[in-house]
Each structure stands twice: as C-alpha cells, then as structure tokens.
Amino acid sequence: MSLAEVEATWRVDGETPLPECTYDPELHTGPRLTIETTEERAAREAVAREICATCPARLFCDVYALETRPTSGIWAGRTPAEVAEHAAELEDLEVA
C-alpha cells in the first residue's frame, strides 16, 4: 500500500478529521504532572487502545509509528514495545 493510499484511509467524506487522541492527549501519553500507578497506567492504556480502535488515522498512525519507533505513549493501539514487536514480525514476513 502506498503512502497516498494510507493517507486516503484517513479521509472521511473528503475531509481529514482530527485524530482521536487530539481530544485528550494525556490519555495516550500519560499524565504530565502526576505519577500514575501500574494499575492506573494499565487502565489508561486500555482506554487509549479503545480510542485508537475508532480513530480514522489509525492506519496512518500505525505506519508512522513503525517508521519512527516511539519510546513512549500509545500509538495505533500499541505501546512502543508492541510497535517494535510488530515491526519485527513484519520484517520476518518480508524475509520469508
């Protein structure tokens, strides 16, 4: 799939809507001013994953995360470790 085709999946009725995480960024990045517990983080990330599942930019975000390998946050429903794992799986498929 070309980048243009990936970008096209983001459009709805000719418009490019805002990604869902722009409405509550700390849901995906974690709180800026407080430290969350392990349980709080797991709960927050679970909700962030649900939001990503409905995001019109998800495919674009997934490709971007695979290219940039983020070190924090939730990207297209994945933690950075999961992004790296997904990238390795894709690399294995390309080799096979």
Please state, in angstroms and rounded to a whole number, the distance separating the CA atoms of residues 45 and 68: 20
Please name the residues in contact with 77: beta carbons below 8 A apart, sequence gap of 6 or more: 48, 49, 52, 53, 58
Under the binding rule (CB under 6 A), the answer on residue 52 touching ligand SF4 is: yes
Residues counted in the chain: 96
| 23 vs 38, beta carbon nearer ligand SF4 | 23
- Provide the minimum distance between the beta carbon of 20 and ligand SF4 in the complex, in angstroms, as a whole number: 4
| 22 vs 91, beta carbon nearer ligand SF4 | 22
Contact present, 28 and 48 (Cβ < 8 Å): yes
* Site for ligand SF4, residues 5 to 34, rule: CB under 6 A: 19-21, 28
Contact present, 63 and 6 (Cβ < 8 Å): yes
| Contact residues: ligand SF4, CB under 6 A | 19-21, 28, 51-52, 55, 57-58, 61, 74-76
